[in-house]
């Protein structure tokens, strides 16, 4: 049996740990031939992007960020003859099964390819933690720890200068990083994509805190958060870096921190500064939690291949790794648990 592995979408810490686990168990336990497909779905469309993966190729990569297979946001359904080319290439390279490691976009493609008869298994990844069906994705814990450390650091400088500090974190459709790092770092206000926040209420909360004798405040905002000046304002704002859509129809987010800081400074008269964490949250070594989860996902993914349970991804539910249908993942987002929001709100202002 020949099994191809690819990583698609934005990278995230732990991808190499998954690849290592799939290859180790695939070769050692099942005697499979393993193949690396370079740059996500692009590797099955363009020539020369498929290479054998031996045990030596996955040695020493467990702790490394990024992905040895590289990644792209290629969508085969948006490319002329994309799907038929994938089928031809799978045949030409005698690939019997695929393991696709990715977020909702990559897994959505995997789900459609499975409907089209391709033997594919998924592994959910994203720092945003917004894939439905799994309690958590690997990469999230690393991003959360990076964001929390950043908030801790920003605290001391905010306090020294009597400033409001706005920390912008990633999170396109869901505010997991914002809310959890905000709780862990003791943020005074958190803004996230699941609901619209009114800037005048943010200013009131900051002023209330300062009237209690606090001279500084920390605001955490997810890049995908939506703001309005007040409940009566017509326009809600989603701040974009670029209006151009990628192959999956996403705009480029980022920069809401600057907009918010400007409005807070105008509404409170407190000096305000901004930190945008951006891709720092996706880079570098995975935490121990993410290495273990990624390793468990990889081992269970190759087991699904071995048992012929195609059309599923591996998922963490409670303490167990279980199969979860890829068809359920398409166009659903795992948004923040309202109970977690209520907990965060206790500490607002």
Q: Does 282 bind ligand F6P (CB under 6 A)?
A: yes
Q: Please check whether residue 134 is in contact with residue 185, taking contact to mean a CB–CB distance below 8 angstroms.
A: no
Stretch that binds ligand F6P, among 36-44, 85-93, 121-129, 204-212 (CB under 6 A): 121-129
Single residue of 71, 75, 126, 137 touching ligand F6P by CB under 6 A: 126
State yes or no: residue 136 binds ligand F6P (CB under 6 A): no
**Interface with ligand F6P by CB under 6 A: which range of 30-38, 122-130, 154-162, 264-272?**
122-130
Query: Is 11 a catalytic site residue?
Result: no
Task: Provide the CA 249 distance to its chain's centre, in angstroms.
Answer: 17
Residues 208-237 binding ligand F6P (CB under 6 A) are 223
- Residue closer to ligand F6P by CB (options 226, 306) is 226
Q: Which of 128, 168, 194, 290 binds ligand F6P (CB under 6 A)?
A: 128
- Among 118, 127, 154, 261, contact with ligand F6P (rule: CB under 6 A): 127
Q: Using the 8-state DSSP alphabet, how is residue 138 labeled?
A: B
Q: Does 75 bind ligand F6P (CB under 6 A)?
A: no
- Per CB under 6 A, 169 contacts ligand F6P: no
CA–CA dist 144, 306 (Å, integer): 34
**What's the Rg (C-alpha) of the chain?**
22
Interface of this chain with ligand F6P, residues 86 to 115, rule: CB under 6 A: 103
Calpha distance 333→130 (Å, rounded): 6
**CA-CA distance, 258 to 251, in Å (whole number)?**
18
Residue 274 beta carbon to ligand F6P: minimum distance, rounded to whole angstroms:
17
Q: Does 124 bind ligand F6P (CB under 6 A)?
A: no
Which of these is catalytic: 128, 141, 188, 303? 128
> Are the beta carbons of 50 and 94 closer than 8 angstroms?
no
Nearest to 3 by CA among 114, 99, 67: 99
Angle between helix 256-268 and helix 199-211 axes, rounded to 10 deg: 50
Q: What are the phi and psi torsion angles at 226 (to 5°)?
A: -115, 135
Query: How far is 349 from 336, CA to CA, in rounded Å?
Result: 21
Give me the residue label for tokens 């297979």.
69
Piece of the chain touching ligand F6P by CB under 6 A; list 76-84, 93-101, 166-174, 230-238 = 166-174
Q: What is the DSSP string of 244-289?
A: ---TTSPPEE--HHHHHHHHHHHHH---EEEEE-GGGGTSSPPPHH
Strand, helix or coil for residue 141: helix
The strand pairing partners of 226, in sequence order, are 196
Verify binding: residue 174, ligand F6P, rule CB under 6 A: no
Strand, coil or helix: what is 117? coil
Min. distance of Cβ 172 from ligand F6P in angstroms?
4
In this complex, which beta carbon is closest to ligand F6P, that of residue 137 or of residue 272? Answer: 137
Instruction: State which residue, 107 or 305, has the beta carbon closest to ligand F6P.
Output: 107
DSSP lists the bridge partners of residue 7 as 101
Can residue 139 be called a binding residue for ligand F6P (CB under 6 A)?
no
How many residues lie near ligand F6P (CB under 6 A)? 11
Q: Sketch the per residue contact string, 10 through 29, with ligand F6P: x for CB under 6 A, - otherwise.
A: x-------------------
By CB under 6 A, is residue 170 in contact with ligand F6P? yes
Q: Binding residues for ligand F6P, per CB under 6 A?
A: 10, 103, 126-128, 170-172, 223, 253, 282
| Catalytic positions, written as ranges | 128
């Amino acid at each position: 049996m020949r099994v191809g592995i690819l990583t698609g979408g934005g990278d995230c810490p732990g991808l190499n740990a998954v690849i290592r686990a799939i290859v180790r168990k695939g070769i050692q336990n099942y005697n499979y031939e393993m193949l690396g497909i370079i740059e996500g779905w692009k590797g099955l469309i363009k020539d020369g992007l498929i290479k054998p993966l031996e045990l030596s190729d996955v040695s020493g990569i467990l702790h490394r960020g990024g992905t040895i297979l590289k990644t792209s946001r290629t969508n085969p359904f948006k490319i002329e003859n994309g799907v038929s080319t994938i089928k031809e290439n799978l045949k030409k390279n005698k690939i019997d099964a695929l393991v696709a490691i990715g977020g909702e976009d990559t897994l959505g493609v995997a789900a459609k390819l499975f409907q089209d008869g391709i033997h594919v298994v998924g592994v959910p990844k994203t720092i945003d933690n917004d894939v439905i069906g799994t309690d958590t994705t690997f990469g999230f814990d690393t991003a959360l720890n990076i964001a929390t450390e950043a908030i801790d650091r920003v605290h001391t400088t905010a306090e020294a200068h009597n400033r409001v500090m706005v920390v912008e974190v990633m999170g396109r459709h869901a505010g997991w990083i914002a809310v959890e790092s905000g709780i862990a770092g003791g943020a005074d206000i958190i803004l996230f994509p699941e609901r619209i926040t009114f800037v005048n209420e943010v200013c009131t909360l900051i002023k209330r805190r300062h009237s209690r004798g606090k001279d500084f405040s920390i605001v955490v905002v997810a890049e995908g958060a939506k703001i309005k000046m007040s409940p009566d304002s017509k326009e809600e704002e989603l701040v974009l870096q670029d209006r151009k859509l990628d192959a999956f129809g996403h705009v480029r987010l980022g920069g809401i921190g600057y907009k918010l800081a400007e409005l807070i400074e105008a509404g409170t008269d407190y000096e305000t500064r901004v930190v945008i964490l951006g891709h720092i949250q996706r880079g570098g070594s995975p935490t121990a939690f993410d290495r273990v989860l990624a390793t468990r996902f990889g081992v269970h993914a190759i087991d699904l291949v071995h048992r012929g349970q195609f059309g599923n991804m591996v998922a963490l539910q409670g303490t167990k790794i279980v199969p979860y249908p890829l068809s359920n993942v398409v166009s659903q987002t795992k948004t923040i648990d309202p109970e977690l929001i209520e907990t965060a709100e206790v500490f607002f202002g």
